[in-house]
Chains A and B, each alone.
Chain A
Amino acid sequence: MAGATRTELVRQDTSGTDAVAAVAVAISALLFGLSIVALADLVSITGSVAGVPTVSLLGAMLVLLGGAVMAFGVGSRLEAVSTTPDTTAGLVAGVAAGGLWFAVGSGIGNVLVGGLGAAVVGLLVGAVAFAATVIPREDIGSTVPIGALPVLTGLVFLTGTLGPEWVFDLGWEQGASLTAEFVIPVATLFSAMIAGWAAAKAYGGFGARGRHLGAYTLVYLNALSIVAFLFVLVAFTVVKGVPGLLTGAQFGPGAGPSTTLGLFGLELSVRLPFSVPFVMNGVALLNDYQGVLPAIVGTVWLVVGAVLFAVPLGVGAAVFLTEYAERGRFTQAVEVATNGLWSTPSIVFGLFGFAFLVPRFGNGKSLLSGMITLGFMLLPLVLITSREAMLSVPDEYRDASAALGVNKWQTVRSVVLPAALPGVVTGVILGVGRIAGETAPILLTMAGGTFIPGSQTVDVIGGFEFTASPPFVANPELLQATSALPYQLFALITAGVGLGENVANPDEFRWATALVLLMVVLSFYAIGIAARYYFRRKLRYE
């Protein structure tokens, strides 16, 4: 590593002190993670981790972190550690430290004097912290006021001043209050973040390199927290949903229902080696275990239908707008209209489907109405992203094609569209994520009984029939009312129609439904990513 070599060359024998700063960065990352996990209730504040009460553990780590940061700063000032600090920590650091200390000060003031006095104490403490950050040299300014914060927070935790039972009444009309469950992780999060920043600066020896490392740490922690949030969300759903999903599940040869595969007249009967009633059953009176198969199939067909409807229309419109239409009033108007359509609330689409589509397709809620309604919702996003993708195809390709005497349509088809495909696919992925989770339009256009015994699984492929009169095909299945996962979940939560008689454990059932919905959406997502990867590969030269 270039950095390591530089350290060896310029600073002598600093590995020990560097380690202090490095450990401080590590502790702050750990604390950061812990506080996120605690916020998500995965670690209990009132409980303990590895035998140590959680609060004490957090407190001890905070004190250690703050102490290390301050020690490094003071050491640097006393020239015990060789660093390259600037003359001041800067205004931004000052404002950050001042703000945080203002919050702490007013909290303390509230306990000691209360009322307006709290604000005065807060301002005073904040001003001192600001001055202490801005006036001294950078190594003191960016470590001591900031390091003192986790030390203080840690001591408060350790001494039990702010124990797990603590509640702070905000004094609002609605009786809102801050509990320790919330305040402790949040305080830890902020202390850890700012101390981590200071520690990273110290690790870089302050100055330009320190600033770079500090910013890097902050940005990195932020990105980490996004990933952590996603992970927590998925993990939460999985943990809650798996028991319901596996109710009555059996694995092993011969456990599953038999399926018949028909291939060229050859009928092959297979018994699946597993049985998961939750995703294989519908709801029926005689079922041992109830399941959500109709809703899964409904969701899948809904998405497929909406994509089949929206992609050709959207891509076609995008081709017209980018390649054929003169840029001007008209294209601008279309652009504004599409953006508006994309921001239109889904319930409005639902109402449109209800008032316009439902009466035209069999005068009842149906899968077809749902598909088309969601297709209309998907259309603007497909149009917008396809248009962006086509606009970003370099004009050189079009020129090259035109110079070979190839006409416009062939150029679009053979050069522009392939180059734009990855972008189009990205748009479809995003859109599918949105429509697959829509509840309101489904409620109005296609949902039949959620929990009516005997609720049907639609068989779209098997439903095609040939008829004697035009249009020669019919598909009664498309005109059936059916369920979809988000709607089912919604109905389960709000109404709980007949839940008690049908399902042993309604709460598990709900979480399992949510988990299945998540899995369905994520598998569409995976298909989309794979498609995009494939098209990208074709365009690049890996």
Chain B
Amino acid sequence: MSDTPQTRQASEVDEPAETAPTTTTTTRTTTTGESDERVREEWRDHEFAGPAKLSVEDLNVHYGDDHALKDVSIDIPERSVTALIGPSGCGKSTFLRCLNRMNDRVSSARIEGSVTLDDEEIYQEGVNLVELRKRVGMVFQSPNPFPKSIRDNISYGPRKHGDLETGLLARLLGRADEDEREELVERCLRDAALWDEVNDRLDDNALGLSGGQQQRLCIARCLSVDPEVILMDEPASALDPIATAKIEDLIDELSEEYTVVIVTHNMQQAARISDQTAVFLTGGELVEYDATGKIFENPESQRVEEYISGKFG
């Protein structure tokens, strides 16, 4: 995004928003989804029972001069599915990547604000990134299996964490966890609805799988390190309806034990699987955050309603 639309928006925002914020007459929406509607604090307050697993406070992300996320504050409840929706380029992936500090790996990124996981600040000195990413797993927007066998892809994380011993030395000492590994591979693949398709070729290279299979393999790989929070960036975008349905069932199951945050472009999917939905709109703003039913049936924001009904984005 260039700066001009944002500055224009900022200068025009004040006056009409004061008078009648939610009526259609005062809201002009352009094709790009910009409008002079003012975002209200209370649209983003979502009350829920139980403790917050992740709590984000005034998160700002800049890529160089590009302000990609603006003052995002949001609490994500434990053991639930939170959907993030919004038009392309609005910062959903950026937001997701802040939750396990993957944005640290982008050298141009500058992150301000606070994110707590179980009331512990993850943006502070001395955070063990390895431990954090073990607890907050991630499935990427495009499938990225390693150029290794299917089995090695799944067992990679546990092996590197020392939970599985399969090296030469362990084998020589008779301490190899072959059985545990096979169990783990099978369990993860089953959970990701891939087992039936690949159980006879676990030694084949994962790059030989179809795009959809690769994506499910990535989900299985993410499950293998037993995370507490699972971040998914459009996990179903490369899948057919059947595999999508399997993944959705899986997410449903996972939410009993895990906290799932999922980005999706598919409104029906968000409506089907999520407990609460956060809507980001162009410019990196979180516009509205509420229970999924409320967002899809009766959103407060005019722009969100238009986005959901397909008028832009």
Determine, out of A34-42, A126-134, A400-408, A522-530, the stretch whose residues face the partner at the interface: A400-408
| Contact status B157-A406, CB under 8 Å | yes
B165 CB-CB contact with A under 8 Å? no
A201 → B minimal CB distance (Å) = 43
| Contact status A404-B222, CB under 8 Å | yes
Interface residues of B in 194-250 (CB under 8 A from A): 204-208, 218, 221-222, 224-225
Interface residues on B, range: 20 to 34
| Contact status B205-A539, CB under 8 Å | yes
| Contact status A403-B205, CB under 8 Å | no
Q: Contacts of A538 on B, CB cut-off 8 Å? A: 147, 205
| Contact status A403-B142, CB under 8 Å | no
| Contact status A405-B225, CB under 8 Å | yes
B134 CB-CB contact with A under 8 Å? yes
B170 CB-CB contact with A under 8 Å? no
A86 CB-CB contact with B under 8 Å? no
A408 → B minimal CB distance (Å) = 9
| Contact status A414-B133, CB under 8 Å | no
| Contact status A405-B102, CB under 8 Å | no
| Contact status B222-A403, CB under 8 Å | yes
Q: B100 touches which one: A400, A403, A414 (CB < 8 A)?
A: A403
| Contact status A402-B146, CB under 8 Å | no
A419 CB-CB contact with B under 8 Å? yes
Residues 131-143 of chain B: 1 if any A CB is under 8 Å from the residue's CB, otherwise 0? 1111101101010
Residues 116-155 of chain B: 1 if any A CB is under 8 Å from the residue's CB, otherwise 0? 0000000000000111111101101010111110000000
Q: Contacts of A74 on B, CB cut-off 8 Å? A: none
Q: Contacts of A414 on B, CB cut-off 8 Å? A: 156, 160
| Contact status A403-B102, CB under 8 Å | yes
Q: Contacts of B224 on A, CB cut-off 8 Å? A: 404
| Contact status A403-B133, CB under 8 Å | yes
Given A540-B205, A541-B207, A541-B208, CB of A404 within 8 Å of CB of B146? no
Query: What's the Cα separation between A401 and B137 when bound, in Å?
Result: 11
| Contact status A541-B160, CB under 8 Å | no
| Contact status B222-A419, CB under 8 Å | no
Residue ID in chain A nearest B207 by CB atoms: A541
Query: What's the Cα separation between A538 and B100 when bound, in Å?
Result: 31
Interface residues on A, range: 20 to 34
A399 CB-CB contact with B under 8 Å? yes
Query: What's the Cα separation between A541 and B100 when bound, in Å?
Result: 32
| Contact status A404-B208, CB under 8 Å | no
Query: What's the Cα separation between A415 and B148 when bound, in Å?
Result: 9
Q: Contacts of B8 on A, CB cut-off 8 Å? A: none
| Contact status B140-A403, CB under 8 Å | yes
| Contact status B146-A415, CB under 8 Å | yes
Given A397-B144, A397-B146, A541-B208, CB of A404 within 8 Å of CB of B156? yes
| Contact status A400-B133, CB under 8 Å | no
Query: What's the Cα separation between A503 and B14 when bound, in Å?
Result: 101
| Contact status B156-A399, CB under 8 Å | no
Q: Contacts of B138 on A, CB cut-off 8 Å? A: 403
Q: Contacts of B146 on A, CB cut-off 8 Å? A: 397, 400-401, 415
Query: What's the Cα separation between A405 and B222 when bound, in Å?
Result: 10
B175 CB-CB contact with A under 8 Å? no
A343 CB-CB contact with B under 8 Å? no
Query: What's the Cα separation between A418 and B148 when bound, in Å?
Result: 9
| Contact status A404-B134, CB under 8 Å | yes
B188 → A minimal CB distance (Å) = 12
Q: A405 touches which one: B134, B140, B148, B204 (CB < 8 A)?
A: B134
Q: Contacts of A46 on B, CB cut-off 8 Å? A: none
Residue ID in chain B nearest A415 by CB atoms: B146
Residue ID in chain B nearest A541 by CB atoms: B208
B184 → A minimal CB distance (Å) = 13
A159 CB-CB contact with B under 8 Å? no
Query: What's the Cα separation between A405 and B132 when bound, in Å?
Result: 7
Residue ID in chain B nearest A395 by CB atoms: B105
A396 CB-CB contact with B under 8 Å? yes
B95 → A minimal CB distance (Å) = 15
| Contact status A404-B102, CB under 8 Å | no
Q: Contacts of B272 on A, CB cut-off 8 Å? A: none
Query: What's the Cα separation between A398 and B105 when bound, in Å?
Result: 10
Residue ID in chain A nearest B161 by CB atoms: A405
A200 → B minimal CB distance (Å) = 40
Given A404-B221, A540-B207, CB of A399 within 8 Å of CB of B140? yes
Q: Contacts of A258 on B, CB cut-off 8 Å? A: none
Most B-side CB within 10 Å, residue of A396, A399, A404, A541 = A404
Q: Contacts of A406 on B, CB cut-off 8 Å? A: 130, 156-157, 160-161
Most A-side CB within 10 Å, residue of B133, B137, B147, B218 = B147
A410 CB-CB contact with B under 8 Å? yes
Query: What's the Cα separation between A250 and B142 when bound, in Å?
Result: 65
Q: B160 touches which one: A399, A404, A539 (CB < 8 A)?
A: A404
Query: What's the Cα separation between A402 and B157 when bound, in Å?
Result: 10
| Contact status B102-A396, CB under 8 Å | no
Query: What's the Cα separation between A396 and B156 when bound, in Å?
Result: 15
| Contact status A400-B140, CB under 8 Å | yes
Q: Contacts of B100 on A, CB cut-off 8 Å? A: 403
B244 → A minimal CB distance (Å) = 22
Q: Contacts of B148 on A, CB cut-off 8 Å? A: 418
Residue ID in chain B nearest A327 by CB atoms: B107
Q: Contacts of B208 on A, CB cut-off 8 Å? A: 541
Q: Contacts of A403 on B, CB cut-off 8 Å? A: 100, 102, 133, 137-138, 140, 222
Query: What's the Cα separation between A24 and B225 when bound, in Å?
Result: 68
| Contact status A419-B147, CB under 8 Å | yes
| Contact status B140-A541, CB under 8 Å | no
| Contact status A402-B105, CB under 8 Å | yes
Residues 45-86 of chain B: 1 if any A CB is under 8 Å from the residue's CB, otherwise 0? 000000000000000000000000000000000000000000
| Contact status A402-B133, CB under 8 Å | yes
Q: Contacts of B157 on A, CB cut-off 8 Å? A: 404-406
| Contact status A402-B225, CB under 8 Å | no
Query: What's the Cα separation between A325 and B130 when bound, in Å?
Result: 20
Query: What's the Cα separation between A135 and B133 when bound, in Å?
Result: 72
Query: What's the Cα separation between A216 and B222 when bound, in Å?
Result: 50
Q: Contacts of A418 on B, CB cut-off 8 Å? A: 147-148
Interface residues of A in 350-408 (CB under 8 A from B): 394, 396-407
| Contact status B156-A539, CB under 8 Å | no
| Contact status B218-A400, CB under 8 Å | yes
Q: List 8 A-B contacts (CB under 8 A).
A: A397-B146, A403-B138, A404-B224, A404-B225, A406-B130, A406-B160, A415-B146, A418-B148
Closest 7 CB pairs of A and B: A541-B208, A405-B134, A541-B205, A396-B144, A404-B157, A405-B133, A403-B138
Residues of A within 8 A of B (CB): 326, 394, 396-407, 410, 414-415, 418-419, 538-541
Q: A404-B134, A405-B129, A405-B131 are in contact. List 11 more A-B contacts (CB 8 A).
A: A403-B100, A403-B102, A404-B157, A405-B134, A405-B157, A406-B130, A407-B130, A410-B160, A540-B205, A541-B206, A541-B208
Residues of B within 8 A of A (CB): 100, 102, 105, 107, 129-135, 137-138, 140, 142, 144-148, 156-157, 160-161, 204-208, 218, 221-222, 224-225
